[in-house]
A = this chain, B = another copy of it.
Amino acid sequence: MKQVKIPEATIGRLSFYSRFLTKLENDGIETVSSGEIAKGIAGNSAQVRKDFAYFGGFGKRGVGYNVADLNRNIKEILGLNREWKAVIVGMGNLGRALAYYHGFAARGFRIIGLFDNNPSKKGEKINNLEIQDASELENFLEKNPVDIAILTLPGETVQFVVDRVVKKGVKGILNFAPVVVFTEKDVQVRNVDLSVNLEILSYNLNSK
């Protein structure tokens, strides 16, 4: 199954589906149709079925999907059947917003370290984590293996930090600076550019 190239938009929607399914699970709902899933995420049911088809359709049998099974399957595909440890480097407004965001833990992403190179921020607590000096990064990563580094840094410092964390075994980079990052082949980089979302929106508004 993993050989099939899944469109990134489908992966993104799986993430939305899963959050909706988690809500249903918490509400004690046992079965759900593609139409209800579509409605729940303001999508359309043909799209839902098409997305599911990439993964063999998740074995629907006419009466709707079993909510818990479907959610477990989707989470497994997304790699959410395990915990991912992450650090945030750069405690400006965006770094803080991410450090305070409770949604990550609910999805299995555990933030275990916060770093900044501004000494005045050192020791400040956010969600029970103390901000550490950026010079401690290597030391910390040696003692605490981390999967993902979330970088909320000025563009000119990103590559330097990427090189440092990759050297310490970090395999995933979530980069919020609008710069291109170069890494080893076995490191996954995801660039989040806050403008891109506005530009997709302006495209949609413009092409109506």
> Which A residues are within 8 Å of any B CB, using their own CB?
2, 7-9, 11-12, 14-16, 18-20, 40-42, 77-80, 84, 86, 92-94, 96-98, 100-101, 103-104, 107-109, 147-148, 150, 171-172, 174, 178, 180-182, 186, 188-208
Contact = CB atoms under 8 A, between A and B. Distances in A.
Contacts of A86: 198
A12 B180 contact: no
Contact of A203 (B78, B191, B197): B78
Given A42-B181, A94-B93, A78 B202 contact: yes
Contact of A9 (B7, B148, B150, B171): B7
Kindly report how many copies of this chain are found in the complex they form together: 2
A195 B104 contact: yes
B79 A202 contact: yes
Contacts of A198: 84, 86, 104, 107, 109, 148, 150, 174
A207 B3 CA distance: 9
A199 B94 contact: no
A98 B198 CA distance: 11
Given A147-B205, A207-B79, A199 B98 contact: no
B103 A15 contact: no
A77 B205 CA distance: 11
The 6 A-B residue pairs with the shortest CB-CB distance, nearest first, are A79-B206, A93-B97, A79-B202, A94-B97, A15-B199, A93-B96
A12 B104 CA distance: 24
B84 A202 contact: yes
13 contacts: A8-B9, A12-B199, A14-B203, A79-B207, A93-B94, A96-B97, A103-B178, A148-B201, A172-B201, A172-B204, A172-B205, A186-B208, A190-B200
Given A11-B199, A93-B96, 8 more contacts: A11-B203, A16-B193, A92-B97, A97-B97, A101-B194, A150-B198, A174-B201, A186-B208
